[in-house]
Amino acid sequence: MARIEHFRLLARYNAWMNGRLYDAAATLPAETLTENRGAFFGSLLGTLEHVVVGDTLWLKRFAAHPAAGRALDSVTALPTPTALDQIQFGALGPLRERRDMLDRAIEAFVADLDEAGLDLPLAYRNSKGVASTRDFGLVLTHFFNHQTHHRGQATTLLSQAGVDVGVTDLLVLIPALD
């Protein structure tokens, strides 16, 4: 499988899994979503907000990459989060609208990339303003891994609240060869 196809699979998985996660979260009362359960970002909602913040920051950086095209224009128009634990929405409904918009932008962005674009370096500034230049393909791997990491935390919080998200494995989207 070409690297670009790998990233397209991860983008598809990302959108699929976020849909399942938000559907599961929607079964809980608002007070359960915001209850501090000792997670790194406190509550289930805080965890979901963090992933949206992180995705927004990275997508804004990706939009400046030479291979970006125009698929991230909708993201560049968004306000830039000011902290990794910033609560931008405070409720699941508007947060899900943003999540869905970001997932569509991610899929469109990755669909427009090609193998050569993955090899171009990404120059950006982190949330503290420190400049960095890194391998774009590897940073894209980090981007998807970050989402998976925090979705794992979110599924644990859901499980603690009595909600089963069901199968979360990427394997579900990988076609069988036999």
> For residue range 121-165, what is the model confidence (pLDDT) as tens digits?
999 999 899 999 999 999 999 999 999 999 999 999 999 999 999
pLDDT at position 66: 93
Q: Which amino acid is at 158?
A: L
pLDDT at position 178: 84
User: Is the model's pLDDT at 1 over the cut of 80?
Assistant: no
Which phi and psi angles does 133 have, rounded to 5°? -130, 125
Lowest mean pLDDT across 23-27, 47-51, 174-178: 174-178
3-class SS letters over the chain: CCHHHHHHHHHHHHHHHHHHHHHHHCCCCHHHHHCCCCECCECHHHHHHHHHHHHHHHHHHHHCCCCCCCCCHHHHCCCCCCCCCCCCCCCHHHHHHHHHHHHHHHHHHHHHCCHHHHCCEEEEECCCCCEEEEEHHHHHHHHHHHHHHHHHHHHHHHHHCCCCCCCCCHHHHCCCCC
The pLDDT confidence band at residue 80, using thresholds 50, 70 and 90, is: very high
pLDDT at position 162: 96
Lowest mean pLDDT across 43-47, 56-60, 169-173: 169-173
pTM over 0.85? The answer is yes
Tell me the mean pLDDT in the region 76-95. Answer: 96
The percentage of the chain sitting over the pLDDT mark of 70, rounded to a whole number, equals: 99
Tell me the mean pLDDT in the region 109-113. Answer: 96
Q: What is the mean pLDDT of the chain?
A: 96
Tell me the mean pLDDT in the region 86-103. Answer: 97
pLDDT at position 157: 97
Burial of 170 (0-12, 13-18, 19+ CB in 10 A): middle
pLDDT at position 32: 97
pLDDT at position 149: 96
> What span, in angstroms and rounded, lies between the C-alpha atoms of 170 and 114?
22
Q: Which of 34, 43, 14, 28 is nearest to 146 (CA)?
A: 14
